[in-house]
């Protein structure tokens, strides 16, 4: 933790509606800078209405509040497993009525990813490479917005990030919890892999983004091959080669691009 770390707090009350309707109690913790509120929605596991908010205070304090009715806590205490946010670890701050006496201890396994079977692994590789032709076409047409979305979000933040997490788990015996949006990966990956990832991020120049696309493809191949070798799977090299050849062909095509996708 550092000075910018936030706190995740669960408040259990008889009726959450007054606390949702009148939000002045948030000021008891400081001067609110900005706040986001969820509506009251059914808990996905038990169907009981609950809500929450994310509050940034102007002194730097940030608290993510969850508001649970007492009935929801009782159902969670009786359930065979904890919800992920508690199973990842929790500390009891105050319980005057002993309501949490039967609450299970956390296993700290909630956010440890499952080892993919070969079918899931190959599907992930397929879906990653499925975005590459789109990026190539958008770059060829000088369409920066959609190219960046496909390259920096779809290919890297979705597919490459997950593969990097699997690579990280390989080094930690599939026991390390992953964090939200790739937080903490820099500290858990070999430095050379992280530097290779950094090299895939560039600015708005189209030529630079072509290079970023090829670096992204190369990094994914390197990491996915490591994961495949560790799990005893066969990496689809011929499929990889054909997609990359197509991307090169789009970059080098002449005359200019045709309309359509």
Q: Model confidence over 45-62: pLDDT tens digits?
A: 899 999 999 999 999 999
Q: Does the pLDDT at position 257 exceed 70?
A: no
- Residue 46, phi then psi, degrees to nearest 5: -125, -10
Q: Does the pLDDT at position 256 exceed 60?
A: no
Q: Quickly state the pLDDT bin for 103 (edges 50, 70, 90).
A: very high
Q: Does the pLDDT at position 117 exceed 60?
A: yes
Q: Model confidence over 206-220: pLDDT tens digits?
A: 999 999 999 999 999
Q: Does the pLDDT at position 258 exceed 60?
A: no
Counted residue by residue, the chain has a size of 261
CATH topology of domain 118-252: 1.20.120
CATH 3.30.460.10, applies to 7-87: yes
Q: What integer pLDDT is reported at residue 53 of this predicted model?
A: 93
Question: Residue holding tokens 């169907």?
Answer: 47
Q: What integer pLDDT is reported at residue 160 of this predicted model?
A: 98
Q: Model confidence over 192-201: pLDDT tens digits?
A: 999 999 999 9
Q: Model confidence over 245-254: pLDDT tens digits?
A: 999 999 998 7
Mean pLDDT calculated for residue range 160-179:
91
Q: What integer pLDDT is reported at residue 245 of this predicted model?
A: 98
DSSP 27-82: GGGS-EEEEEEPPPEE-TTT--EEEEEEEEETTS-EEEEEEEEHHHHHHHHHSSS-
Domain range annotation of the chain: 7-87, 118-252
C-alpha dihedral sign at 122, 124, 128, 131:
positive
């Amino acid at each position: 933790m550092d000075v910018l770390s936030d706190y995740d707090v669960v408040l259990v009350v008889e009726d959450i509606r007054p606390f949702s309707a009148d939000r002045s109690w948030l000021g008891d913790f400081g001067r609110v800078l900005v706040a986001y509120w969820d509506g009251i929605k059914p808990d996905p596991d038990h169907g009981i209405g609950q809500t929450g908010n994310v509050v940034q205070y102007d002194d730097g304090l940030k608290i993510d509040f969850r508001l649970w009715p007492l009935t929801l806590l009782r159902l969670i205490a009786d359930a065979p497993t904890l919800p992920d946010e508690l199973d990842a670890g929790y500390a009891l701050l105050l319980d005057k009525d002993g309501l949490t006496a039967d609450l299970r201890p956390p296993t700290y396994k909630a956010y440890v990813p499952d080892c993919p079977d070969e079918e899931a692994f190959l599907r992930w590789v397929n879906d990653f490479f499925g975005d590459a032709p789109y990026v190539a076409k958008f770059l060829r047409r000088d369409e920066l917005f959609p190219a960046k979305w496909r390259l920096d979000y779809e290919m890297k933040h979705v597919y490459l990030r997950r593969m990097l997490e699997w690579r990280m788990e390989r080094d930690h015996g599939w026991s390390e919890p992953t964090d939200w949006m790739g937080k903490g990966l820099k500290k858990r990956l070999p430095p050379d892999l992280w530097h290779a990832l950094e090299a895939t991020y560039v600015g708005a120049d189209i030529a630079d983004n072509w290079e970023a696309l090829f670096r992204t493809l190369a990094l994914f191949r390197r990491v996915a091959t490591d994961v495949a070798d560790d799990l005893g799977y066969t990496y689809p090299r011929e499929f990889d080669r054909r997609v990359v050849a197509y991307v090169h062909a789009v970059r080098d095509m002449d005359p200019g691009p045709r309309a359509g996708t």
